[in-house]
Amino acid sequence: MEYFKSQVPRGAKYEYYTSFEPKEIISGQLKKLFHQYGYRQIAVPTFEYFDLFKASKGPLEHSAMLKFIDPAGDVLVLRPDCTLPIAKMVANSKEDPKQLRLSYISNVFRGNDLNESSATEFTQGGIEYFGDGSPGGEAEVILIAIKALIQLGFQEFQLDLSNIHFFKNLLARADFSPEDQQQYKAFIREKNFTALDGFLKSTGESSIPENLRSLLRAMPNLYGKPDKVFAKVANYNLSQEDLKPLKHLRRVVEILQEYGYGKYIRLDLSLINHFDYYDGILFQGYLSGHGKVIVQGGRYDPLTESFGRKIPSLGFGINIDEVIQAMKKFNQSIESPYYTDYLVLYEDQERTEAFQIAETIRNKGFVVEMNAKADLKEQILGAQRKNIKEIIVYNRERLELIDLIGDDVSKVYQNTFIKSLDDKDRNFSMVPIH
């Protein structure tokens, strides 16, 4: 059997309308929200130079990028990330990047290993905010991430915040080698306390000040409500320079609390994003009962600097495919404009007249399908499967209206029916996520 006639390439997928339409609705909701805060929509190329990502501090193994060679012989990749090409675009733009607000909805192509089934294409929506290095700017970006999850219908979720400068400064003071730093980060991610304790004993523990050693060991526990975490850190007698990143983080938290969104915030000072280009505030969002990260972001000033122009920069991305998976898990419905208002049925000799009626209804803003009448019972069953609310059986004398919601049949003159549409609004339909 020719496998390519029934299978898709590893990591790729078809999206039937039952899954694609919810994605379009969610994308529309995010675009509207981003626009309300002044973020202008942009697009970046679907493919970029492989060297661009190869030279970055991103987390992706080179084997996890989809590479190909263009006719000129350059090695290109399907974009595995949106932030990096947007930073490149802004750094090379002549536009003043001060308080520049941008947004996007794009597909990205990323996998842990393309030899595994986890390699995939997914849709990401996000914002990038340039030219503002203040806690207020960071609070705005985090606030929009919170509001995005609320607008998508989620109530039980939290965002974990950290300041990666605090973590990096402690590692620098401990004077770990690059290899030891990677090992320590791995144990932190795994929250492997036993291995962490053994590691600290084997890496020149005696040369590390007692308070710093205790803090490095306790790092995975520095998690929870902001006031409690700040109080825990105060017990380690750190210098003002050590505490400087946390003072910045505290101000961001205070602003979010002043806005009334503090209940969604937790601190996790061991938070380490795989994207090494983050430098400063860092955050990740989780839904209660759904174990995967659904939104992540942070500050990445050095990224624009790598393109020759250092600009205060931060943003976040929401994995829209993961949002849909969560909605399925929670049996969540979504308000959908994608449905048919009327199905017009006709006998073949009346096709043209029925078409004119259908066009008149469409011109009034309604969605109309047309079918030859044939078997009426079968047409009714088909309409019910498609969530069509009303069937119009065309007749030159009077239209027969079959109300599939109210289970009612009536006859009405064409002019009367058309006039009645002037007082009728098109109401959205609630549909489950498939």
**40 marked ligand binding residue:** no
For helices 193-202 and 210-218, the axis angle rounded to 10 degrees is 150
Nearest-angstrom CA–CA distance, 121 and 124: 10
E strand intervals along 82-186: 100-110, 120-130, 157-163
Residues with Cβ within 8 Å of 348's Cβ and at least 6 positions away in sequence, in order, are 372
**277 marked ligand binding residue:** yes
Per the CB < 8 A criterion, the answer to whether 105 and 125 are in contact is yes
Task: Using alpha carbons, list the distances in angstroms from residue 167 to 100, 220, 254, 271, 389.
Answer: 29, 11, 21, 9, 58
**Residue 99 region by backbone torsions, left for phi larger than 0, else alpha for psi between -120 and 50, else beta:** left
**338 marked ligand binding residue:** no
Nearest-angstrom CA–CA distance, 117 and 10: 6
Q: Which amino acid is at 393?
A: V
Structure tokens belonging to residue 120: 């995939």
Buried b (16+ CB within 10 A) or exposed e, 317-345: bbbbbbbbebbeeeebebebebbbbbbbb
**83 marked ligand binding residue:** yes
Side-chain-facing half-sphere of 146: CA atoms under 13 Å: 21
**81 marked ligand binding residue:** yes
Per the CB < 8 A criterion, the answer to whether 111 and 119 are in contact is yes
**110 marked ligand binding residue:** yes
Residues with Cβ within 8 Å of 26's Cβ and at least 6 positions away in sequence, in order, are 125, 152, 320, 323, 324, 334
Q: Are strands 40-41 and 100-110 parallel, antiparallel or unpaired?
A: parallel
Residues with Cβ within 8 Å of 262's Cβ and at least 6 positions away in sequence, in order, are 226, 253, 256
Structure tokens belonging to residue 125: 């929506």
Structure tokens belonging to residue 10: 């590893």
Nearest to 33 by CA among 44, 23, 43, 41: 41
**203 marked ligand binding residue:** no
Ordered DSSP codes for 396-425: SS-EEEEETTTTEEEEE-HHHHHHHGGG--
Nearest to 122 by CA among 334, 328, 317: 317
Per the CB < 8 A criterion, the answer to whether 277 and 130 are in contact is no
**266 marked ligand binding residue:** no
Task: Please give the annotated binding residues, written as ranges.
Answer: 81-83, 110, 124, 128, 277-278
Please state the residue numbers annotated as binding site for L-histidine: 81-83, 110, 124, 128, 277-278
